[in-house]
Amino acid sequence: MKNSIKVERAKKNITQAELAKLAKVSRQTINAMELGKYVPSTVLALKLANIFETEVDKIFVLENQDWE
């Protein structure tokens, strides 16, 4: 699953640590998501969309291999 968390953070000019605090997760979780090593729960994806004031599908995009 691709995501644009890093881009969205840059738009808001916030660090991984600041985003982690807002989302109530660790900075390591934010880093893992940005690197594509962690797929968030639905609740976390919705929290991030709320923080970034956008829709979930604007941040997270399924890739073809995600369907297999």
Check residue 15 and give its pLDDT.
98
| pTM across the whole model | 0.90
At residue 8, φ and ψ (nearest 5 deg) are -65, -40
Rounded to an integer, what distance in angstroms lies between the CA atom of residue 14 and that of residue 67? 32
> What are 13-67's pLDDT values in tens digits?
999 999 999 999 999 999 999 999 999 999 999 999 999 999 999 999 988 777 6
Check residue 67 and give its pLDDT.
67
User: HSE of 53 in the Cβ direction (CA atoms, 13 Å)?
Assistant: 2
Rounded to an integer, what distance in angstroms lies between the CA atom of residue 36 and that of residue 56? 16
Distances (CA, A) of 48 to 10, 37, 62: 14, 17, 16
Tokens (6 digits) for 59: 């941040």
Superfamily of domain 2-67: lambda repressor-like DNA-binding domains (1.10.260.40)
